[in-house]
Amino acid sequence: MYRKELQTLLSKDSIPNFFFLYGADNFQSELYAEFIKEKYKPDETLKLFFEEYNFTRASDFLSTGSLFSEKKLLEIKTSKKIPTKDLKILVDLCKNNTDNFFLLELYDENSKQSDIEKI
């Protein structure tokens, strides 16, 4: 998805509950990430930045119910590609529960659009 398509999508009242942001312009990715987080309005957020990524911790966060929060946001910032299998599971956890949100910011200038779009 290109920037113009993303802007159109984000201008709607209802947006998808998972986004993958990537590209050579880190500032732009961070700007869109902040806008997306404002639209989600989560009650609880788990932030895993760069080396902190742990699939078990991420999937447990999205799959476990909470007494104190309904809307949960999993935010991952990384410069390393996450295995496709992991991403598919995290996306499925969002598809199965509309109160789960997943935001992945990939800071890898060499990332290819087709790699992420396969998910």
Give the C-alpha separation, 1 to 32, whole Å: 13
- Give the largest Cα separation in the chain, rounded: 41
Topology of the domain comprising 17-63+70-117? Rossmann fold (3.40.50)
114, pLDDT greater than 70? no
Whose structure tokens read 């993958």? 20
pTM: 0.84
Confidence of residue 5 (pLDDT cuts 50, 70, 90): confident
Give the C-alpha separation, 10 to 23, whole Å: 18
| Range list of β-strands (E), the chain | 18-22, 44-49, 72-78, 100-106
What is the per-residue pLDDT for 118? 57
What is the per-residue pLDDT for 107? 84
For the chain, what are the domain ranges?
17-63+70-117
